[in-house]
Amino acid sequence: MSLRLGDIAPDFTAETTQGTINFHEWIGDSWALLFSHPADFTPVCTTELGKTALLKGEFEKKGVKVIAVSVDDLDSHNKWVPDIEEVNGVKVNFPIIADADRNVATLYDMIHPNASEKATVRSVFIIGPDKKVKLTLTYPASTGRNFQELLRVIDSLQLTANYQVATPADWKDGEDVIITPAVKTEDAAAKFPKGFTIIKPYLRTTPQPNK
């Protein structure tokens, strides 16, 4: 059965390019981004892991740890890393899980039903400090991920976890947000002292409360 939003992310122990980890312990009090790759030495994956390394500082600013997984073994990962670094001009500064037994791929339902039983799809899981799944995305093996979108989604998830707001289409950090229907209009002024605009009775916007 596929993981659903709000489910506890399955825990596991695995070998990585940065040593053995217990996943929940590794997350600690942080957020986590777990993303899978069909195989080592594949072209799209090489660009994605390089982009992740380049953006690691941006994820860290948001309190997010990043970790990749591929169903190849640790020796293969270690041989692949120099290619990633050469192609992208960056050091691979995050762990890559070795999942030769497909334990992690199976726990997270990453095996593509219409492809090789070895190949994982490009899955993304964003996991909160409470170890619950906050977002899932699945791309076909042919399509590289948009990492700016992942950063944007994290901004939204972290904001809406702490305030009674939602984010509209194409929202970016710093823009107005939507007050959730759970907040009555008569209570909105106290909850949102920056003020709010009633566009429709069910659509009320306010400046981002944590800016």
List residues with catalytic annotation. Answer: 45
Rounded Cα–Cα distance for residues 149 and 145 (Å): 8
Give residue 108's identity as a one-letter amino acid code.
Answer: Y
- Report DSSP letters for 15-48, one per residue: EETTEEEEHHHHHTTSEEEEEEES-TT-HHHHHH
Residue 96 CA to residue 141 CA, distance in Å, equals 18
> Please, which residues have CB within 8 angstroms of residue 179's CB and are 6 or more apart in sequence?
164, 165, 188, 191, 192, 196, 204, 205, 206
CA–CA dist 210, 202 (Å, integer): 22
Residue in 33, 59, 44, 52 with CA at minimum distance from that of residue 124 = 33
Contact 33, 150 (CB under 8 A): yes
